[in-house]
Structures are given as structure tokens and as C-alpha cells.
């Protein structure tokens, strides 16, 4: 599956969009957006085969590149999404094969938006694993930290879609390759040179990946890298709800940025009201820089030590919500990687969150996660239409 990307430059009557967050998109403010495309496609893929991989990431193409700004750690898998919504898995007539896995989605999302990203994780030394490696490479995601396991398969997930595009998952990973990443296989140099290290909680479920996760986050923290955490709760993968809650919270206080959903707040607080700010504030630890609560089509809430508020989302026709939260994370991290001072400036943070909301909204208009992640051009166009 070849997902091509082009490099474009945008300006909001000021510095380039990539280095500064979008100005507030209100009907009272005059917007001037220009776009120019280089017409260049992604770098050519390297030839992949069992003989030249042998359990490790394939070599760099030799080009001189800066270290990725955002390194994403965790699982990458294949989602099988039904072509017809509103049916059970057994009733679905066919499925669309779509690359996914929350951390990988975020990495690709950032690259699609013009940022620099890397993925660290493990897939099987099988055709699906090779396919996923190709997709990362084709989307300009650094995959030098990717590993291949000859003894375990790439993880699969079958997704049931309701008529409203909401999802239920059935996973095939017993064990899958992503669960078997070892601490000794980590590319610590890649992690330490990043600005932001992003991860979820699925990598905390089993050993040896749990130890690798903890070691990677520790190395990032000691190097002064910002830690970004999206628990991405998937209860069917955990031994029990209590185990999931305990493990998710076990790394809570080390994160600098946390993104959670309303459902995850209710789960972590054992049933408390996710719309009550006092409940949300219970999850705000002393060293946290930013807590984000996503609310689907309604947008998001944000909390820092000094201010809090809500940014409304874009209303779109929902086809499949898979990857929407990851697209949101990619949107905000792509902005923070360019300028961390956004965390102290509420007006500019709100503008960046408006951009992130648009990223999430556009993703639900197509089936699958990575195939649906928007480009910078698409996001800017959607924001312009929203203020006309």
C-alpha cells in the first residue's frame, strides 16, 4: 500500500506554518494562506526481504537527516475494518486491510503534517511486518528503531463498526511480535535526541515489552525529552480492569503531557463524572505540563497549572472513528515539537488545539487509521471552510 506525501509550504501572513502554530481562525480575522508544492514524492523504498532484515530494522538510505523531533513507541498492527457498518464481525461481508496501532498512527500523522517523527516497536518477520515497514518509510517516518521477530506474527485487529462509526475490537496477539520487544533492542540514541517521546499503555501489558517501555521512558526523561502519554485503553487486552487501571496509573506521574478521553477518565476514577473539572483535576499531577481531554465531535478540554478551557471541534459526517484520537495527538505534538512555549501561552495553545481538532475530525471521514490521517493541506482547507 503506497501512501504518497508531498512537501508543501504554507504561510499565515507571517512565518511558515510548520514553525509557528496557526493564528486564531475566527471570522473577524483576515487569513492569507498560500501553498506551494515541491512535487517531490517520498524517498524511494529500500528493497525488503527476509535476508536483509534478519530481525532488525533495515539500514538508512544514507541521506543526512536531522534527528526526528517526535519518537513514538509501542505497537504497530493491521486493522481489518468491515466494508459495511452496523454488522457483527461474523456478518460482515468483507474487510478493508488498514495499517494501524496508536503510536504508529501518531508517527505517521506527524509526518503527514510536515513534521519529523520516528517509530520504535516490533513486528513479525512476515509479509504484514514488511508491509508496515514499507508504509512507515513511504510516509517519511524514521523506522531505524523498528525490529522484526522471526518467531511471532505481526498483530492483527478486527474492528466492528456501528452505524455511527464507533468501534469494538477483537485482537489476535497471543503473543504478537509487538509484545516481545526487549530492552536490549531499543535505539536509545534515537530516543535521547528527540524533543518529545510519545507512548501508550498497551506496551505495559506484558513482559518483555513492559521493561523495554519503562527503560525507554527513563532514558528519554533523563535526557530532558518531553514525555507524552495517551493511555489508549483497550480493556480486552488486559488480564482485568483492575490490572489495567493499576498499570496505566503506574507511569502517570512521569508524563509531561497526557491525553485522555471522557471514557478513560470515568474508568480511571472508578465511575466519577468526566465532565466535572474537579474530577479531571484529580488526574493532574504536580509535574504535569498539559492534560488534554478529547470529546469527539465536541472538541477538547485543556488543563495546565495556570489555565484551562475548551476548544470546539469541527462537525463532519462520521464513517469510522478509528485513529481520530491519534490524529488529534499528532496535530498537537506537531505544533509543540516546533515550539514548546505554547504550553505557557493560552491563546496560541488554543490555536494549536483548533488545528489538532481538525486533524481528528478529518480522520473519521474515511475507513481505517493510517489511510485516513490528513495532510497539512487538508487540515488548513477544513479550517478555512469552518470560518467562511
Task: Report the CATH number that the domain containing residue 183 is assigned in CATH.
Answer: 3.40.1190.20
**Residue 158 covered by a domain:** no
Structural domain of residue 198, as residue ranges? 67-75+102-122+175-387
**Residue 35 covered by a domain:** no
- Any residues with CB less than 8 A from the CB of 64 and at least 6 apart, and which? none
Average pLDDT, the chain: 84
The H-or-E segment that residue 173 falls in is: none
Burial classification of residue 164, based on how many CB atoms lie within 10 Å of its CB (0-12 exposed, 13-18 middle, 19 or more buried): exposed
**Residue 6 covered by a domain:** no
How do residues 326-350 score in pLDDT, each as one tens digit? Answer: 999 999 999 999 999 999 999 999 9
Cα distance between residue 11 and residue 109, in whole Å:
20
- Reported confidence tier of residue 65, pLDDT bands at 50, 70, 90: low
Q: Has residue 216 got a pLDDT over 90?
A: yes
Cα distance between residue 362 and residue 307, in whole Å:
28
Positions of E strands within 209-357: 226-229, 257-261, 290-294, 300-303, 308-311
Residues 72-97, mean pLDDT to the nearest whole number:
88
DSSP state of 56: S
Residues 23-39, mean pLDDT to the nearest whole number:
30
Cα distance between residue 324 and residue 359, in whole Å:
8
Compare 58 and 154 and report the one with higher pLDDT.
154
- Reported confidence tier of residue 101, pLDDT bands at 50, 70, 90: very high
How many separate domains does the chain show? 1
Cα distance between residue 353 and residue 94, in whole Å:
36
Percent of the chain with pLDDT over 90: 68
Q: Has residue 86 got a pLDDT over 70?
A: yes
- Reported confidence tier of residue 165, pLDDT bands at 50, 70, 90: low
**Residue 7 covered by a domain:** no
**Residue 82 covered by a domain:** no
**Residue 86 covered by a domain:** no
How do residues 231-285 score in pLDDT, each as one tens digit? Answer: 999 999 999 999 999 999 999 999 999 999 999 999 999 999 999 999 999 999 9
3-state secondary structure 107-160: HHHHHHCCCCEEEEEEEECCHHHHHHHHHHHHCCCEEEEEEEECCCCCCEEEEE
Biggest CA–CA distance in the chain, Å, is: 60
Cα distance between residue 137 and residue 131, in whole Å:
10
Which whole-number Å values give the CA distances from 246 to 80, 228, 281, in the listed order? 30, 19, 19
Compare 123 and 321 and report the one with higher pLDDT.
123
- Reported confidence tier of residue 19, pLDDT bands at 50, 70, 90: very low
Q: For residue 18, what pLDDT is reported?
A: 31
Cα distance between residue 261 and residue 329, in whole Å:
12
Q: Has residue 194 got a pLDDT over 60?
A: yes
Q: For residue 44, what pLDDT is reported?
A: 28
Q: Of 40-49, 109-118, 158-167, which has the strongest mean pLDDT?
A: 109-118
Residues 31-43, mean pLDDT to the nearest whole number:
30
Q: What DSSP string describes 177-236?
A: GGGG--GGG--HHHHHT-SEEEE-SGGGSSTTHHHHHHHHHHHHHHTTPEEEE-----GG
Cα distance between residue 316 and residue 345, in whole Å:
29
Cα distance between residue 357 and residue 331, in whole Å:
8
Is 300 in contact with 314 (CB distance < 8 Å)? Answer: no
Lowest model confidence (mean pLDDT) among 14-28, 180-194, 372-386: 14-28
pTM of the entire structure?
A: 0.82
Residues 38-54, mean pLDDT to the nearest whole number:
32
Compare 385 and 167 and report the one with higher pLDDT.
385
CA atoms within 13 A on the CB side of 280: 23
- Reported confidence tier of residue 164, pLDDT bands at 50, 70, 90: low
- Reported confidence tier of residue 84, pLDDT bands at 50, 70, 90: confident
**Residue 380 covered by a domain:** yes
Percent of the chain with pLDDT over 70: 81
**Residue 190 covered by a domain:** yes
CA torsion 265-266-271-276 (nearest 10°) is: 70
Residues 61-69, mean pLDDT to the nearest whole number:
61
Amino acid at each position: 500500500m503506497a501512501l504518497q506525501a508531498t512537501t508543501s509550504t504554507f504561510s499565515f501572513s507571517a512565518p511558515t506554518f510548520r514553525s509557528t502554530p496557526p493564528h486564531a481562525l475566527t471570522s473577524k480575522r483576515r487569513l492569507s494562506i498560500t501553498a506551494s508544492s515541491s512535487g517531490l514524492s517520498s524517498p524511494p523504498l529500500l528493497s525488503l526481504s527476509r535476508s536483509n532484515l534478519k530481525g532488525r530494522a533495515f539500514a538508512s538510505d544514507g541521506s543526512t537527516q536531522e534527528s526526528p523531533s517526535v519518537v513514538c513507541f509501542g505497537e504497530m498492527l493491521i486493522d481489518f475494518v468491515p466494508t459495511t457498518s452496523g454488522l457483527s464481525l461474523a456478518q460482515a461481508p468483507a474487510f478493508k486491510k488498514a495499517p494501524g496501532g496508536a503510536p504508529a498512527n501518531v508517527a505517521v500523522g506527524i509526518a503527514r503534517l510536515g513534521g519529523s517523527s520516528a517509530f520504535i516497536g516490533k513486528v513479525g518477520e512476515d509479509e504484514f511486518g514488511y508491509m508496515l515497514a514499507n508504509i512507515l518509510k513511504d510516509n517519511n517516518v524514521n523506522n531505524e528503531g523498528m525490529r522484526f521477530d522471526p518467531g511471532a506474527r505481526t498483530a492483527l485487529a478486527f474492528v466492528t463498526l456501528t452505524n455511527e462509526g464507533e468501534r469494538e475490537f477483537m485482537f489476535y496477539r497471543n503473543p504478537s511480535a509487538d509484545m516481545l520487544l526487549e530492552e536490549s533492542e531499543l535505539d536509545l540514541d534515537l530516543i535521547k535526541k528527540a524533543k518529545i517521546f510519545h507512548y501508550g499503555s498497551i506496551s505495559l501489558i506484558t513482559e518483555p515489552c513492559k521493561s523495554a517501555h519503562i527503560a525507554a521512558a527513563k532514558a528519554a526523561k533523563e535526557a530532558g525529552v518531553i514525555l507524552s502519554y495517551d493511555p489508549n485503553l483497550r480493556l480486552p487486552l488486559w488480564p482485568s480492569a483492575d490490572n489495567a487501571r493499576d498499570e496505566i496509573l503506574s507511569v502517570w506521574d512521569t508524563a509531561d503531557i497526557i491525553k485522555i478521553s471522557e471514557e478513560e477518565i470515568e474508568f480511571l476514577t472508578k465511575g466519577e463524572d468526566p465532565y466535572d473539572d474537579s474530577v479531571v483535576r484529580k488526574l493532574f499531577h504536580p509535574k504535569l505540563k498539559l492534560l488534554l481531554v478529547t470529546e469527539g465531535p465536541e472538541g477538547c478540554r485543556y488543563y495546565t497549572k495556570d489555565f484551562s478551557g475548551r476548544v470546539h471541534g469541527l462537525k463532519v459526517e462520521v464513517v469510522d472513528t478509528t485513529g481520530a484520537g491519534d490524529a488529534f495527538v499528532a496535530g498537537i505534538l506537531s505544533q509543540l515539537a516546533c515550539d514548546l512555549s505554547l504550553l505557557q501561552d493560552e491563546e496560541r495553545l488554543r490555536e494549536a488545539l483548533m488545528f489538532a481538532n481538525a486533524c481528528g475530525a478529518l480522520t473519521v471521514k474515511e475507513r481505517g487509521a493510517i489511510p485516513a490521517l490528513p495532510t497539512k493541506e487538508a487540515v488548513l482547507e477544513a479550517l478555512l471552510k469552518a470560518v467562511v
